[in-house]
Amino acid sequence: MNLIIVAIGGGLGAVIRYILGIWIKDKTKERAIPTAMLVVNVVGAFGLGYFLSSFYGEIPVNAYDERPFLIIGIGFFGAFTTFSTFSVEAVTLMQKKKWGALTTYVLLSIGGSVLTFLIGFYLGL
């Protein structure tokens, strides 16, 4: 049953990530950094932080058997945010020797995700 719950959350997260990514690409002009995936990952980090703090009041260590964590934390936000796409886009910037854009993208993606997770977490308390 847990696999089905994760799959449902993951399916929703992946579809919403795709729709949001397309929408952002349509609304913004081409930039030096991949804006759509940056926004998705930072928004997802915020959402996960907010969910964990508002639902659990902490970062749960042993929540892998709890259905809310499985569907929302692992399923939805696991599929909504994507480290694999981030990696592809970072390597593409590296291959194109766009060092400034690469540095900006990596710092904003990682730093922004950690920062927005913390903001979401503390807003949810």
Ligand-binding site membership of 78 (annotated): yes
With contact defined as beta carbons under 8 Å apart, do 109 and 38 qualify? yes
Domain extent for 97: 2-124
Token pair 């970062």: residue: 59
Find out whether 116 is annotated in a ligand binding site: no
Cα–Cα dist 16/18, whole Å? 5
Per the prediction, the chain carries an average pLDDT of 95
Residue 29 has pLDDT above 90, yes or no: no
For the chain, how many structural domains are there in total?
Answer: 1
> Which residue, 48, 63, 64, is CA-closest to 123?
48
Looking at residues 57-83, what average pLDDT do you find? 93
Quick one: pLDDT band at residue 62, thresholds 50, 70, 90?
A: confident
pLDDT tens digits for range 4-24: 999 999 999 999 999 999 999
3-state class of 61 per DSSP?
A: coil
Say how far apart CA 22 and CA 39 lie, in whole Å: 12
